[in-house]
Amino acid sequence: MKTILFDALGDKNFSVYSIRDLDAEVKDEDIEELIGKIKHIPVHFATIDLGYIKLREFNQTHLAKVLKNFEIPIFTIELPHYVKGHYASQISEIQNKYNELNTTYNSLKDKNSPGAHELSYLIDYYSKELMELNDYLNQQIRTKSIVEKILSVIKDRDSKNLTFVHFGKENTFVEIMKQLKERNVKSNIIFIQKSKFLHSI
């Protein structure tokens, strides 16, 4: 693993960092090296956005085992089952429509025909709909669950004296930071893109 660099995402009253310059492929020994380093900051606990993975699957990952070995308390965040099912179904339906239309469009010989233009319009429409649905899920539903979990963990503690690491999707970090700041949370937070460590999430 390359030298770990921290990018500041917040101001002096709200210390938030993201770790960058991680190698594209993160090996088991890299995970141990990273957790070993942040343990000595020190980090008081870790929050994990599980996404669509099940808790028992996460518990079998090397990341989970290393966090436990370093005695860093783990708090996982899961969307309610009905929410996951509802949005997964919607996303799958839209994705299937998009794929079907895209396949049909690519098979056309004349892409300047009225039918081709109509297909192109529908492809753009479903692509935008899929993007908006994913954005809503990540920026509204998922971040709300994450912030609520963090607030429950730090309840009755002085947040100024806490440092924790959050493994999650990079496109949720800014919104999480914004919501925590609005709640007057002053903990030091280290964001780490979970896809580097949990490829199935």
Q: State the pLDDT at residue 130.
A: 93
Domain-embedded: residue 139: no
Name which of 181, 188, 195, 86 is nearest 143 in CA terms: 181
Residue 68, domain extent: 5-80+156-196
Q: Residue 166: which CATH number?
A: 3.40.50
The answer to whether position 48 is within a domain reads yes
Return the pLDDT at 147: 94
In a domain, 43, yes or no: yes
**pLDDT for position 187:** 84
Number of domains in the chain: 1
What's the whole-model pTM score? Answer: 0.75
Residue 90 maps to a domain: no
Does residue 118 belong to any structural domain of this protein?
no
Q: Which residue has the tokens 């709300």?
A: 144
The arrangement of strands across the sheet holding 16-20 comes to 5-8, 16-20, 188-193, 163-168, 45-51, 74-78
**Residues in the chain, pLDDT under 70:** 1-26, 195-201
The radius of gyration of the chain from alpha carbons, rounded to an integer in Å, stands at 20
Cα distances (angstroms) measured from residue 76 to each of 57, 106, 131, 153, 182: 12, 42, 26, 11, 22
Question: Which pLDDT value is given to residue 124?
Answer: 96
**pLDDT tens digits, 94-145:** 999 999 999 999 999 898 899 999 999 999 999 999 999 988 888 888 899 9
Distance from chain centroid for Cα 145? 12
What confidence score (pLDDT) does residue 126 get? 95
Q: What does the pLDDT read at residue 69?
A: 92
